[in-house]
Chains A and B, each alone.
Chain A
Amino acid sequence: KAGVTQTPRYLIKTRGQQVTLSCSPISGHRSVSWYQQTPGQGLQFLFEYFSETQRNKGNFPGRFSGRQFSNSRSEMNVSTLELGDSALYLCASSLNGQASYNEQFFGPGTRLTVL
């Protein structure tokens, strides 16, 4: 069974540009969450999607957005990039959105560098 895949693995952008990252969950998983990891702030929750609906959102500005498709694949978009957006972006998938028992599996991440 394939794991969580993320594309691209590395990205270099300049300030002011926008970027779209993609995440394909484990087959059969319907929940996808996104996290940002930086040396200073650690791992921070961005948002979570379940059945094409955003269920929960972290404390990030509106420049960060996402969506989920009917096949559970998810994309996140960052507009008007800032230097501080440089980070490792991780997505995680879980089976059915039931938090009572739901192991989460992470992808390898997308390393975004903003110049």
Chain B
Amino acid sequence: KQEVTQIPAALSVPEGENLVLNCSFTDSAIYNLQWFRQDPGKGLTSLLLIQSSQREQTSGRLNASLDKSSGRSTLYIAASQPGDSATYLCAPISNFGNEKLTFGTGTRLTIIP
């Protein structure tokens, strides 16, 4: 059974700083891993999808890396902005041919203006 852990659970940083969010998972046999953000009371917004054959994926100020062998992924946010304040969730898709995402509990990020 896949288990996902995200550390830290909450993080507050001043605007403009670079930061890293961590995700670890127990079953390394994954197809891909997706990072999402969720604003309070809202749905999930897809940020990045990393295939198992990739090591990293970039979109604007976001960079996600994946190390399957160690069961880890990181999300790097450069030059943080107040609009980045949200809960960030990682979710691997396990390697048995279905669409089930297993979510961690997320990291609640607050950017201080």
Contact = CB atoms under 8 A, between A and B. Distances in A.
Interface of A: 4, 6, 31, 33, 35, 42-43, 45, 48, 50, 55-56, 58, 88, 90, 92, 94, 97, 99-109, 111
B103 A43 contact: yes
13 contacts: A31-B99, A35-B103, A42-B103, A42-B106, A43-B91, A43-B103, A45-B102, A92-B99, A101-B31, A101-B49, A103-B46, A104-B34, A111-B41
A107 B93 CA distance: 19
Nearest to B93: A99
Contacts, number: 73
A105 B31 contact: no
Interface in B59-113: 89, 91, 93, 95, 97-106
Contacts of B46: 103-106
Most buried by B among A6, A90, A100, A105: A100
Given A48-B99, A56-B98, A109 B42 contact: yes
Contacts of B95: 99
Given A43-B91, A56-B98, A109-B43, 13 more contacts: A4-B43, A33-B99, A45-B100, A92-B99, A101-B31, A102-B93, A103-B49, A104-B46, A104-B101, A106-B36, A106-B43, A106-B44, A106-B45
Main secondary structure of the interface of A (DSSP, over half): strand
A48 B36 contact: no
**Which of under 10, 10 to 19, 20 to 34, or 35 or more describes the interface residues of B?**
20 to 34
B92 to A, nearest CB: 11
A56 B44 contact: no
A100 B97 CA distance: 8
Contacts of A43: 89, 91, 101, 103
Nearest to A111: B41
Contacts of B49: 101, 103
Contacts of A6: 43
